[in-house]
Amino acid sequence: MINKILSEVSPVFGFCSFEKLSESLIDCRAKNRIPENAKSIIVLLFPYFLGDDAYEGSDISKYAVVPDYHDIITNLLLSASDKLSEAYPDEEFVVFTDNSPIPEVRAAIDAGLGVKGLNGLFINKVFGSWVFIGEIVTTMVLDYPDVHETVCINCGKCVSACPTHAIGKNGIDSEKCLSFITQKKGNLTAEQEELIRQSGCAWGCDICQNVCPMNASVSVLPIESFAKGAEFKARIGSDISDRAYFWRGEKVIKRNLSILNKEGKKL
């Protein structure tokens, strides 16, 4: 029953132990929502890659081309958790995505769904790293896989391609990451502006994923609402509340677009 319900919302999912991860929880307000007697994490993947040709001329990163994944995934997870609560009335099910105390990359690896890239991202065999991660934390006791393969092929291409040298041996230096810089409020330094101009990308950064050989021949099977609502250029001048670049306010995306208009070219 549980597999049937989950397969209605995601093509790839798995289970991992909550206890094993409980020492590594991310400190955030959402932590209060974890059920008191949590036992397992149901981890689900949501592919969003639309095929290389689709992004020609785009001025935002691939994750921001699709409608804001927080809304889409939360709705999918809620529909699954409603059905799970009906099927297993004595258990609790609480949904999270991104704004989550669960270190999601780690949870997806523990659930046996793929490996961790040197670029810090989770990589699945079928969909590559072009997946969002969502989870349902539950009081249910489930079966967890024995995981042997946990890291990528370690080719180093992401390290050489990263324009800000943000990828180190021990993970990402988030403040150096261009994705973080495009989301920063206020004035940027001349150097940060130049990095955005060079990348040609007004929101997020895909460079370390574009060069990754483990993303070379992945399936193009995005979640339906992602494909339907894709917009390849940043939208301004009208309501942007359904886009990933909304959460920092319109000023930030407008600032980045104006930086790009000073002869931005896509890397």
Interaction between residue 153 and ligand SF4 (CB under 6 A): yes
Choices 5-13, 48-56, 139-147, 173-181; region in contact with ligand SF4 by CB under 6 A: 173-181
Residue nearest to ligand SF4 (CB): 117
By the 8 A CB rule, do 80 and 72 touch? no
CA distance 114 to 197: 33
Tokens at 116, concatenated: 């961790």
The answer to whether 135 and 41 are in contact (CB under 8 A) is: yes
- Name the residue with tokens 């409980």: 22
Binding-site partner at residue 157 among ligand SF4, ligand B12, none, CB < 5 to 8 Å by type = ligand SF4
Question: Does residue number 105 form part of the binding site for ligand SF4 (CB under 6 A)?
Answer: no
Q: What is the DSSP-derived secondary structure letter of residue 188?
A: P
Residue 227 token pair: 């494909």
Smallest gap from Cβ 183 to ligand SF4, in A, equals 11
Q: Is 64 in the site for ligand SF4 (CB under 6 A)?
A: no
d(CA 83, CA 138): 13
Burial of 219 (0-12, 13-18, 19+ CB in 10 A): middle
Nearer to ligand B12, 1 or 68 (CB): 68
* 98 belongs to the catalytic site: yes
Shortest Cβ distance from residue 213 to ligand SF4 (Å)? Answer: 6
Active site residues: 98
Interface residues toward ligand SF4, by CB under 6 A: 117-119, 152-158, 162, 164, 166-167, 172, 177-179, 205, 207-208, 211-214
